[in-house]
Structure formats: structure tokens, C-alpha cells
Structure 1
Amino acid sequence: MATLGYEAQSWKEGILVGHLLVFIAAAYCYWIVRRFSLGFPRLVASTPALAVYTLVPFIWSHDTHLTGVGCFYCIVTWIASFKVLLLCWGTGAGCDPWVEPIFPRFAIVMMYPAHVKQTGKVVKRVPVKYSSLIDYVSKSETWYMLFARSVVKSVVLALLLQITVSSLDTLPLIVLHLLTTLQLYLFATTLLEVLAAVANFFFGVTIEPHFDNPFVSVSLQEFWGQRWNLLVSSCLRETVYNPVLHLLQRSDDKPETSDQALSTNLAESEDLFLTRRSKRSSGVTNTDFSKAQGARRKFDLDKLIALLASFLVSGIMHEGAVYYMTWNATWRMTSFFVVHGVAVALETAWKIQYPKTRPSRVVSTLLTLSFTFITAHWLFWPPVDCKIAIISSELLNLRF
């Protein structure tokens, strides 16, 4: 599909033009949008940038170029659109104290899926203590360890892609989906760790990790909120969950003004997120943390609706990526995220109602991963089955 009469003649040209377009959009946001008042004036002014982000993935032809790269651009521009929306209200990555004063930093953060890690008000390399060598190798955020991990993951990814391409006709569908799940994780983490290594080496900053050992999650809530694709979780929290929760709670009799209430929601959400991560990094398990908080937790209908809205928006955005790849909207992808939103809500309600009835960590992890994979096999992967072999082959044969 040609965008405004243009279609890239090669995937290299597409990446070059795509980067140029999102760079222009970032420049527009930096020098034009930020001049307007916070709120709806900025939102109206940012419409051209949002339109660019919507059109960028369509500069690739499905017949001759990398569908996978175009799909990746769908996700990148989706995250960039969220960052622009947050910028309109004076928050998010574009308002980071390290980013705001200098345009190149602003452009990099707005163009790529990255959030700069902060220590108080100072942005810098963040020192971390590790309990073991294995912990250091798997979690170190120094540029050389990030690069080393990305090399190892690239080798494993290439092997899995080779198995997929060579055995496509003989592999059971459930095995194919399992391999594709691992490929998705390896591809995303490799790409993002390379980006983090570059930022650490050239700018001396630490990028927030996007994944935190998702395969050891003890609950769906932990999987989606604290371990899998944390940047998207953060964006959804700030652009969907908090605003919806704020709107639902506006009728409550509170002394705060609307802006103060929304700021409070943002701050509480961020504090809770950071507290949970600090608890886990210090050796306190998610189960221990939940038990400590259990006495104060009550079922909150407003939070339930905000949670379901977040999963619904995530599903719709992923459905858009599927539509880009297949030109067909089955809504199974959206259904996958709605099912998981309902499951997280039921899981949370169970923990509140029966705080002492919980399986062991091993059993919880097996149940969480089994449910996630079975629902992915049922709903997530079928809409893109027709493209798995094509994308695997394209990535395997990628040449510069």
C-alpha cells in the first residue's frame, strides 16, 4: 500500500524514509507542539505528528519487502503516539529532565521504544548490586553485557528461525506457535538491548529494561504488569488506565481539583510500580509483597474497569498490526487481550477474597505460563499463521 503515493523500493529505503518521517514528527513536537498550552491545545497541535505515525508502516509493500519490519514499525509508532499524547499533558518520556533541554535526546526517546532510568532527579548510569554471577550476566545493564547478551540471543534466534523454516511442513501447529513465541521474545529483547547498549555507551545513561524474566511470573498480574514489555505497560498505565480511573472517580467527594486528582493517580501508580520492582530486586517475592498488602486491599470496580480498558486498547492496537500484515481483521487478537484482562481481574479478586489460598511458586508459574501459551495458541497466533513462515524466512535471510 502506497502512502501518499509513495512506496519504498527496498526495505533499506523503507527504514531510511521511515526514520526520516518519524524524525520530522519528533522535531515538530519539540519546536511546535511544546509551544502550546498543556491539554487540548497541544493535542490539537499534535494531530500532524499523530497522522505521520499512523501512515509510516504503510510505506512497505507486502509483495516485495519485509512484512516483519513493517509490523515492528506499527508497534514503534503506536508507542510513539502514546508518548505524544503524554507530552500533551506534560508527562511521559518527552518531559524527562535529561531529554527535554536537548533536541537530539528528545528525538531519540520519541523515535525509539526507550525510557531513561532515573535516580532521583539525576539521570545517569544506575549502579545495581547483583547477588550472583548468573544474576549479573542476565540483568547487568552495562553496554558490554547488553551487547554480549544480544549476540547470544541472536545466535539462538537464528537457530530457531532455521528450524521453523526447514521443518514448517512437519511441525505440529502447537510446536510452531511455541517456537514463534520464543522467536518473538528473542527478537524483541535483542533489538531493545542493542538500543540500550548504544545509549549506555554513547550517552552514559541506562535505559529502563523492557522485559524482566517473564518466564518466571507467578501470576498474570505480575506477567503483564511487571515482567512482559514494561514500556508498553507503562504507556498503557499513563495513557489509558490512569485517565479512565480519574474519570470514573471524578464524582467522588474529594478536596482535590481534577488536575490534582489525576496527578495523584499518576504518582500513586508510579510509586506502586517502583515499589514492587524494588521489592523484587531486594529478594522479596511477589507472593510475600502481595500478602503484606492484602490487609489493605479491597475490590475496586473503578480500577477493574480501568484495567479492562487498558487491555482492550492494547488488543485494538495489536489488531491494527495484524491488519497491516494480513489485510484482514478477525478480532481474535483483540479477544486474546480481553480474555487476559478478565483473567487478571478474576485473579485479583481471588487473591483479595482468599488471601491465604495460594499454590506454591512453582505451581503458580506453571499455571501462569500454561494459561498464557494456551490462550495465545487459541487466539493470538492463528490470525498471523499465514505470515509466520514468510516473516521467519525474511529475518533469517536478512542481509545488509
Structure 2
Amino acid sequence: MEVGWAAGLAASFLVSWTAAAYCYWYVRWLPKGAPRLLASIPVFATYSILPLVFSRETHILGVALNFCIFTWMGSFKVLLLCWDRGPACDPWVLASFLRFAVVMSFPAHIRREGRVVKKHVPVGSPWLHRLMKAETWSMLIVRSVLKLMLLVALCLRALPFRDALPQIAIYALYTILLYLFVTIVLETFAAIANSLFGIIVEPHFDNPLAAASLEEFWARRWNLLVSNSLREVVYQPVLAALKDRTRKHVLKTSEEQPGNHSRATNDALKQSLHRRSSNGVERSFPEGRHGLEKEEQNYGVAKFWAMLATFFASGIAHELAVYYLTLQVTGEMTAFFTLHGLATGLEAAWSSYAPKTRPPKIICRFLTLGFCFITACWLFWPPVARGADLEVIAEMQSFIQLFQFKFVSG
């Protein structure tokens, strides 16, 4: 049954905390792996239904928020919980159901290094630097208010002239509105989690305009909540599986062809295959010839396929989001993120094999942002702009008008 905003938020809150209680007092006590995964099926089903609580015709923002927070991010956190990973498995979080429910229900990754820590910004830093970087709840609220003012100004001054703008200008405006809306929502949730529950969350964006490569843009600049979740749920498991397969193949080859390697080289190969890189994913480093060099090449191939699988999974998730909003599946979102996965892989190969040919950083920034915007105009925005955009615009303007009416009448 479709409901309005107030009833929809109440229903989402009640259902999400019920699902969190189910995971806290039942799922997490089961053996990790398949038993937890099977027991979590009701949670996945519940999260998939939550966006439908809101009316798609009149409350499409509620549909989008429920999908992103619960159907996507919530399901990812439950998946990680099934294998004792992710933010919900932190001992500090597990010590309290309240913390557990907040982490499972809020679009946030907590920041912890043995204890909750804040992003330190020197006290003597310029006020603008503190405003842009500090992760305290007060600075998060200030940033959200400033961005909300800009969002309202664009809705009142720019959107009414939408029909007079060229299509590329409309997509540029949509990109700005999307960034403002997403950051306002995420930073507001982060401020609530910080002020009420003492949870410090990781920053969600880090100056996307400064990205000098596609890898930097997607992995370290744009919507870090999504990129970190995809890294944990897709990239690392796929890379680990491919690495394990590569390890077995290389060791088998080295044992079957002893004439090609010395005993010392084979021992070095076995040791290198068990080393770990700084991010916790197994990685080897060549210490000999032939087989070791071959293994390093295989590692690069494994990284490429793991990265491509990650982008493809992101495309499927965005495709599902479009379906919830428009009730149509076009494949354009999947194509957009798959294309970016291929481009990021080619870019990484370029940096590895011909690093001296890369242009200056300012040119790289221009090329990176240009590629993102052009491909977004081609594949990302069209499926959204086939009706859903007008519904979102109408809903945002109705919110603003309602606020103005209450403010003036008050």
C-alpha cells in the first residue's frame, strides 16, 4: 500500500529497525557463510519491498532514498555480516543494539582505528578549510545548510527555465543538483549519527573536481560510501578468488616443470604468493624470473577482472534504481558503468606501461571530468530524464513552496 511522506518514513524506520533486530539477535549467531546467507533472505526481501512503500507518482524521492539506503546499502551490509565483515561486525558496534541498528539503517561507514576517531583538522587552519574538511556534526550541519540554500536557489531560479536550456546544459544542471542532494542527505545522516550516537562516519565525497584519473574519481573522490561498499562486497572477494586460482596454477606449473626454475626460485615464488599488500588483498612481488614475472602479469589481469566486475555490479544496482523510479529497464546504466570499468582498466594499463607519456595533471583532470560528463550525457542521464526528472523537479518545488508557505504564514 502506497503512503505519503510521514507514514512512509515511519514505516521505513520501523521495518529497518525490525530487520536490524533480526540480524542482531539471530543472524549473527549462526555460523558464517551459507547459514547466515539463507537466514538473511527475509531481510533482502524486505529491503527490496521498502521503496514501494512510497507512491512513485507523488513521492519519487522517497522511493530513491529507500532504495539507496536499504535495498542497496542495507543489503550490502547484511551480505558482509554473513561473512563477519563490514561495519556491522565491528566489536564496538556489536556491543550495543542501538549502535548496530544505526549502522545498519544509516547510509554510513563508520571510521574506526581501535576506537572511534575524528578526521583531525588543525585548529589554526583557515575557516574555509575547516568548513570543507571537518567531520564534526556542527560542520556537517553548516555544510548541509549552505548546500541546501544553493539547491533551493537552483530549483527556484534555474529549473523554471529548463525548457529554454540546451540538453547538455540541462544535464549539467542535473549533475550539480544530484551532487548537492546526495551530499545534503548523507551529511545530514552523518551529523545525526555523530551528535546522537557518537558514531563518526567516513566522508562521503572528497572534492570530485580534483580527480586526475578515472580510478581516483570513482575510488577516492565520488560517493565513497558506494565505492567502499563495492570494494568490500565485490572487488576484494573476486580478486581473492582469482588470486587463489592464479596461485594454484603457478605453483602447479612450477612443480611440473622443475627444469625451468631453480629450487631457490620456486621457494621464492611460494613465499611471494603468500604476501599481502597494504589493503589486505593477497599480492605477490616478483623475486625471480619467468614464473614470477608470469604470476605478476596474472595478478594484473586478476585486478582488471575484479575491477570490471565491480563496475558491472554498480551498473546493475543503478539499473535497478532506474527501474524503481521509471518501471523500465533500458540497460544504459549498466552500459555506462561497464564502459567506465573498461576505461579505468585501460587507464591503469597506460599508467603502468607508459607512465612517462601521461599528460600534466591539469590536463588529466580536464580529460577525466570531460569523459565522465560526456558519457553521463550519453548513457547516465537519458534513462532518468524520460519522465522521472520532471517528477523529481515537481516534488522538490512542492517541498520548497510548502516550506515558504509555512515560513511566511508563521
Into which bin does the TM-score normalised by the smaller protein fall?
A: 0.7 to 0.9
1:105 is aligned to 2:99 = yes
Mapped partners of 2:62, 2:165: distance in 1: 25
Contact 2:119 2:134 in 1 (8 A): no
Offset at residue 250 of structure 1 (A)? 2.1
Aligned residue in 2 for 1:81: 75
1:268 is aligned to 2:280 = yes
Contact 1:116 1:205 in 2 (8 A): yes
Alignment equivalent of 1:185, drawn from 175, 179, 182: 179
Alignment equivalent of 1:122, drawn from 115, 125, 134: 115
Aligned residue in 2 for 1:392: 393
1:175 is aligned to 2:153 = no
1:374 is aligned to 2:369 = no
Aligned residue in 1 for 2:304: 304
Offset at residue 128 of structure 1 (A)? 3.2
Aligned residue in 2 for 1:362: 362
What's the CA shift string for 1:163-206, capped at 9, x where partnerless?
34311211111111101101110011111111222222223332
Mapped partners of 1:163, 1:379: distance in 2: 27
Offset at residue 364 of structure 1 (A)? 1.1
Offset at residue 266 of structure 1 (A)? 9.5
The residue type paired with residue 7 of structure 1 is: E
Distance change in 2, residues 1:19/1:301 (3 Å): same
Distance change in 2, residues 1:133/1:359 (3 Å): farther
1:201 is aligned to 2:195 = yes
TM-score calculated relative to the size of structure 2? 0.83
Structure with more of its chain in helix, by fraction: 2
The residue type paired with residue 122 of structure 1 is: R
Gaps of 5+ in 2: 252-266, 268-272, 284-295, 404-410
The residue type paired with residue 225 of structure 2 is: L
Q: Any idea what SS the aligned residue of 2:280 has?
A: helix
Q: Any residues of structure 2 matched to 1:305-344 within 5 Å, and which?
A: 305-344=305-344
* Percent identity over paired residues: 44
Gaps of 5+ in 1: 1-5, 256-260, 272-296
Contact 1:164 1:176 in 2 (8 A): no
Contact 1:124 1:206 in 2 (8 A): yes
The residue type paired with residue 71 of structure 1 is: A
Mapped partners of 1:396, 1:263: distance in 2: 56
Offset at residue 224 of structure 1 (A)? 0.1
Contact 2:120 2:134 in 1 (8 A): no
Distance change in 2, residues 1:361/1:266 (3 Å): closer
Offset at residue 22 of structure 1 (A)? 1.2
Name the larger-Rg structure. Answer: 2
Distance change in 2, residues 1:36/1:263 (3 Å): farther
Distance change in 2, residues 1:249/1:134 (3 Å): same
Mapped partners of 1:186, 1:262: distance in 2: 44
Contact 1:87 1:94 in 2 (8 A): yes
Aligned residue in 2 for 1:154: 148
Q: Any idea what SS the aligned residue of 1:114 has?
A: coil
Q: Any residues of structure 2 matched to 1:342-357 within 5 Å, and which?
A: 342-357=342-357
Distance change in 2, residues 1:183/1:269 (3 Å): farther
What is the RMSD of the two structures over their aligned residues, measured on CA atoms?
2.3
Mapped partners of 2:281, 2:151: distance in 1: 35
Aligned residue in 1 for 2:220: 226
Offset at residue 270 of structure 1 (A)? 11
Aligned residue in 2 for 1:7: 2
Mapped partners of 2:53, 2:198: distance in 1: 34
Q: Any idea what SS the aligned residue of 1:123 has?
A: coil
Offset at residue 217 of structure 1 (A)? 0.5
Aligned residue in 2 for 1:95: 89
Contact 1:238 1:266 in 2 (8 A): no
Distance change in 2, residues 1:269/1:365 (3 Å): farther
